[in-house]
Amino acid sequence: MKTLQDYIDALNALDFKKMYEGDFFLTWEKTDDELKAVWILADALRYLREHNISTKIFESGLGISLFRDNSTRTRFSFASACNLLGLEVQDLDEKKSQIAHGETVRETANMISFMADVIGIRDDMYIGKGNTYMHDVVDAVSQGHDDGILEQKPTLVNLQCDIDHPTQCMADTAHIINSLGGIDNLKGKKVAMTWAYSPSYGKPLSVPQGVVGLMTRLGMDVVLAHPEGYEIMPDVEAVAKKNAAASGGSFRVTHDMADAFKDADVVYPKSWAPFAAMEKRTKLYGDGDQAGIDALEQELLAQNAQHKDWCCTEKLMKTTKDGKAMYLHCLPADINDVSCKDGEVEAAVFDNHRDSLYKEASYKPYVIAAMIMLAKCQHPQDTLKALEEQAVPRKIK
């Protein structure tokens, strides 16, 4: 699109009004129009920033971030998104809060939200916990707003839970859309979402689940590849099958990495822990069984080591469509002879796709900002137009 009006016209053709004052939990809970609105608005915000036009729609306010797992890209993407819209970010460090002293979810959620417009949470460690916790937070602030305690209900953005990683997968897809020249060009393209070896254990399931749950929405032919015993959540597989049937795409599972890579347009080799093992780990943590946790870790590391041949190699990449498949990764990747001896991808493959990978990551701040804006602006088309007309320079040259 060449002008801001092009983006506005594209938004005018969509129905996304239910996103106003809403939250973003899982991609498959959103309509096709709502997903498209996020991608279009994300590109519109990038357009404004590239043309040195301020996108600050807030004069004040907070974006609260809570990360229960380590993060680089998503943490900084959330901070960038909030700043892009004019919000200041405040991290909630649970070790420095009263949560350690028994403060309830309801109390914490309301205490941090007096001037908060958005809460971003990463809680991906334990099966059955992360997404549930996010809903508990939303329930708490919704009641706080209904009872007149909070002047506004902060919107919640899922920055990764035990089920989905929507900001990552939406950014991945934005990268594919822009690289292939439009969303309609995704139909019929083959995506290989494959497990890959890692010398570490316990990596979340949310990225592969998010990928198969989202890309099947777009008429793509999605192949989930992993060694036997590395299954994802059955409920998410069911979502992928349903989505593929509705979109005219396809979804299948294979235990052969070469099968997944053959003639693929997009490959996404990424390690994850088996669903059954993650369920077991969650129970062990709940029981406080540290000996059991340690034993499980050693068991899973030994299991991983049996599949070192599951690696994204130059040889495999040559079998993709015309030998030119897009290589995706949420980063950081386990790179052979760089970050580890044996890992997910050969160094030559990673180096060949480094610029594309960084571009892929660059979409995430805009995607998160679009999610926030759609929840906070009843008519974002009018907001975009007002920003263009005000033409406040982001930077004085």
Rounded CA-CA distance 273/268 in Å is 16
Per run of 10 residues, the mean pLDDT along the chain (length 397 residues) is 94 98 98 98 98 98 96 96 98 77 87 97 95 98 97 98 98 98 97 97 94 98 98 98 98 98 98 96 95 95 96 98 98 97 98 98 98 98 98 94
pLDDT of residue 201: 84
Positive/negative CA dihedral, 302, 286, 234, 31: negative
Rounded CA-CA distance 372/130 in Å is 20
CATH number belonging to domain 168-359: 3.40.50.1370
Rg (CA), the chain: 21
Rounded CA-CA distance 115/243 in Å is 38
Question: Where are the extended beta strands (E) located within the chain?
Answer: 62-67, 88-91, 116-123, 155-161, 190-194, 221-225, 250-254, 266-269, 326-327
Check for a shared fold between 4-164+365-390 and 168-359: yes
Rounded CA-CA distance 139/204 in Å is 25
Instruction: Give phi and psi for 130, each to the nearest 5.
Output: -60, -55
Domain 4-164+365-390 fold: Rossmann fold (3.40.50)
Rounded CA-CA distance 256/310 in Å is 9
Domain residue extents for the chain: 4-164+365-390, 168-359
- For 254, the token pair is 């294979």
pLDDT of residue 101: 61
The model's pTM: 0.97
Rounded CA-CA distance 31/45 in Å is 21
Rounded CA-CA distance 333/304 in Å is 16
pLDDT of residue 98: 67
**Displacement of CA 54 from its chain's centroid (Å):** 25
Rounded CA-CA distance 25/391 in Å is 33
The single residue listed with the structure tokens 């590395």 is 230
pLDDT of residue 95: 78
